Chains A and B, each alone.
Chain A
Amino acid sequence: MVARFKTPGFYRALLGTALGGVFATALTWIVRMSTGHATFHHYLSGEAILTVSLIACPIFFVIGLGVFDYWFHWAAGRPTRPEDHSNHGAFTWKDYFKVNTDHKVIGVQYVVTSFIFLLIGGLIAMLMRAELAQPGAQFVDANTYNGLFSVHASILIFFFIIPVFAGLANYVLPLMIGAPDMAFPRLNALSFWLLPLGGIVMLSSFLAPGGSFANGWTAYAPLSTAAPVGQNFFSIGVQFAGASSIATALNFLVTIITMRAPGMSFFRMPLLVWANFSTSLLVVIATPFVAASQFFNLLDRSLGFNFFNAAKGGNVLMYQHVFWFYSHPAVYIMMLPGFGIISEILATKARKPIFGYRMMAFSLLAIVVLGFTVWAHHMFTSGMPAWVRIPMAITTVVIAVPTGIKIFSWLATLWRGVLHLDTSMLFALGFLTTFTLGGISGVMLAMIPFDIHVSASYFIVAHIHYVLFGGSLMTIFAGVYYWFPKMTGRMYDERLGKWHFWSTFVFFNLTFAPMHILGLQGMPRRVATYSAQFADLNLMISICSWLLGLSTLVFVYNIVTSWRGGPRAVANPWRAMTLEWQVSSPPPVFNFDKVPTVVGGPYEYGIPGAVHGILEPAHVGGAREPAGVSSGTHMSGE
């Protein structure tokens, strides 16, 4: 039994969590005692212990789990253990609950964890729509409702959309560039394990005295500095998500720059790699700002600092500037990897080279640069100097240009292509439709008078869901279907997949399109009730949203049953050219027996004799080689 608490694993992690609580209690006690009663009225304060525990317990948990073991060993100057690679690959489902440094295992861990957060966030949305089915109070009080929409948005943004892209890229990106793993596999494991912990911190805010954080995912000061202790769960949860995504982004950048296969120049990289390169640049540069904004919040709330206390010279508008300087680039962090997924799928399933490959890559970089120049368009009604609106409106319109380049390039890719309308392609086409609609309402919102009219109305809700659900989530579904055979070695049920697409697409539009009208008519968002004139449309929206929620169950059923017992997938079911499809499904533990050589572009479909990469014949054998796999010696175009 003692040995269980000594070896890395969940037992030691639980012990660590308990020690984290003890540490938090001791630390707050010592600090409060040493600074005296004048500042802190009691030596022991539940709120202080809770806040420090929220930081300490997850960190002690990952230490107990064994994420840091190697580094501790190294830091103590002991001879470093030779890497025996025993923790590469997953052989049973239990291996997914251990610290693993294999990028493919981490990718699956990431995707599954974030989909669990999707289901939780979606369930919260169902509750919100139940409350909004009729005007007046139904079954939750106004403050609980505020908590529901705040947690809904925060969980889905910080713990679903951002990490699920990191998870998909974690799985396929090293394969795509011909690398055996990520550049820093142990850091990769750390960034994954911070994620579920941060999500649990955020979700457990419902248990906090005074209820969960309840002022939106934006947590504007001074509303947030005056809120009950549940707000700290948000601030600290965001820190874990932020640290996780910075570490992953750094890892991606180093991997892409230093570990590409011979012959893979930057302009032979698949666009998914370009997309994650751009996204990672955004994350490394922008995410520290949201970390800082939540440090300010936490310091104001817990230690009585005066960042946002106007009575003592603080500046509340500063919060919005710092927050949006991250959170506007963050919308591109939530979208660019999706652009990459769509580029992969459209080229492969239209059997055509991607139109304007270089412009696709450059437009990603243009979005990275321009993404930092538009943040104050979220603040047109905030009371900042009025002239600031003008340049922000202009840059906001300008940033639609690189996005437009991408849309038209995708359309040109489809033009006269041989479209294979399977599930992932349907989601890609659905994405093109809904994201374009969301993009157009985004350009409308760049117009200052219009923005002032619909600010904080349901028009904003419609817009954000058209870009995040109709945009990001559609690409995520497309990507999951596209790489499902590669990740699991099984095929999904195509018929159920199509059912999933059509129900999602139809009910998505029926749910969110009417919100444009409600917003134009003046229905305010983030309010638990509304005036009777909006009742009919809201009831319809609620019913459609529940059906939209049910459509997700089709997806879950399809994925679970296919993963357990679907037909075995061949190495390259889509006849794609990129490198991840040239190894078996699922790939061997170390991806390649020998690093492949890249000799051409990634999308040269329909060009006779075109070759992207050359592989040595893969080594057959090993622990869990799926049946019926023949690893091709080179790429097959059409």
Chain B
Amino acid sequence: MEAASIAHAGHGEHHGPPPAHKSSRVDPQLLGMLLFIISEVMVFGAFFTAYFFIRVANGDPWPATHTQLPVLPTFFNTLILVSSSFTMHWAQTAIKKGNRLALKAGILTTFLLGCTFLFLQINEYANIGFAPQDHAQGTIFYSLTGLHGAHVTIGLILLLFVTIRAFRGHYSSEEHRGVEIPGIYWHFVDVMWIIVYATVYLI
């Protein structure tokens, strides 16, 4: 890489591309994240299709006979995840005002709340009393909550990056897209959980 850049340095007329014309007020990174979220919603859509076919089209009992879902403990877990959306929002508004201390506190709290959610979810798997191999209802339960858990994990990795960068002194009131865009993903993960919780546990 170094050698290449030296070799090209001889043709030093260009120092980079001309700045692209901004033909939209939408931020490219923001738009990219929104489109990514659309395709993520469609992945969930496919898993909900499987849920529909097994629960509605097959008409099988939900949850499977002799099993029950821990509706109330998961409700508290839901509250944990939802509250992490509020701390995320706190961090986002803080950095817009240039408050770096509140950014650090907010992003760290969000990260830890997300970890707590994931830990409780795994704990629920360990104690729920049925496995995905047992019946189709178990398959759907584990798939939908597991797919969501995978998204929580992706969100946590993004939040970890933001946390590291926040503690290393990045972000300011002018440059805070790096907080905002992972934040949008985190809100999406939370909203998705409310839908998963409502369809899998409540109705």
Contact = CB atoms under 8 A, between A and B. Distances in A.
B60 A318 contact: no
Given A7-B1, A85-B17, A75 B23 contact: no
Interface stretch (A113-121, A308-316, A363-371, A571-579): A308-316
Interface in B113-143: 131-139, 142-143
Contacts of A257: 23-24, 26, 31
B43 interface: yes
Interface in B13-48: 13-24, 26-28, 31-32, 35-36, 38-40, 42-43, 45-47
Contacts of A383: none
B62 to A, nearest CB: 11
Interface stretch (B4-12, B81-89, B103-111, B188-196): B4-12
A291 interface: yes
Interface stretch (A179-187, A352-360, A486-494, A534-542): A179-187
B76 interface: no
A619 B16 CA distance: 13
A589 B14 contact: yes
A305 B8 contact: no
Nearest to A590: B17
A260 B132 contact: no
A258 B133 contact: no
Interface in A217-268: 246, 250-251, 253-254, 257-262, 264
B165 interface: yes
A291 B53 CA distance: 18
Contacts of B8: 86, 623
Nearest to B167: A77
Given A260-B23, A593-B18, A285 B39 contact: yes
Contact of A318 (B5, B43, B53): B53
A296 interface: yes
Nearest to A296: B50
B57 interface: yes
A305 B46 contact: no
Contact of B58 (A8, A77, A85, A313): A313
A179 B20 contact: yes
B39 A284 contact: yes
B18 A250 contact: no
B39 A77 contact: no
A181 B157 CA distance: 29
A107 B26 CA distance: 26
Contact of A254 (B31, B47, B54): B31
A158 interface: no
A431 to B, nearest CB: 30
A285 B38 contact: yes
Instruction: Give the interface centre of A257, A303, A314, A589 by most chain B CB atoms within 10 Å.
Output: A314
Contacts of B131: 39
Given A77-B165, A622-B11, A307 B136 contact: yes
B170 interface: yes
A325 B52 CA distance: 15
B11 A258 contact: no
A74 B158 CA distance: 11
Instruction: Give the interface centre of A76, A259, A313, A325 by most chain B CB atoms within 10 Å.
Output: A313
B35 A250 contact: yes
Contacts of B35: 250, 253-254, 284
Given A39-B133, A306-B132, A306-B136, A258 B28 contact: yes
Contact of B42 (A75, A259, A288, A593): A288
Interface in A31-49: 39
Given A305-B133, A321-B53, A261 B42 contact: no
Given A285-B38, A288-B40, A305 B139 contact: yes
Contacts of B133: 39, 303-306
A497 B135 CA distance: 59
Interface of B: 1, 4-5, 8, 11, 13-24, 26-28, 31-32, 35-36, 38-40, 42-43, 45-47, 49-50, 53-54, 57-58, 60, 64, 131-139, 142-143, 160-161, 164-165, 167-168, 170
Given A289-B43, A623-B11, 10 more contacts: A74-B165, A77-B168, A253-B35, A254-B32, A258-B24, A264-B23, A293-B46, A306-B134, A591-B17, A621-B11
Please list the 7 inter-chain residue pairs (A to B) with the smallest Cβ-Cβ separation, ordered nearest first.
A292-B46, A313-B136, A180-B17, A86-B5, A77-B168, A288-B42, A590-B17
20 contacts: A77-B168, A84-B5, A85-B14, A87-B1, A257-B31, A258-B23, A259-B20, A260-B21, A262-B23, A285-B38, A304-B132, A305-B139, A309-B136, A313-B58, A313-B64, A317-B53, A321-B49, A322-B50, A595-B18, A623-B11
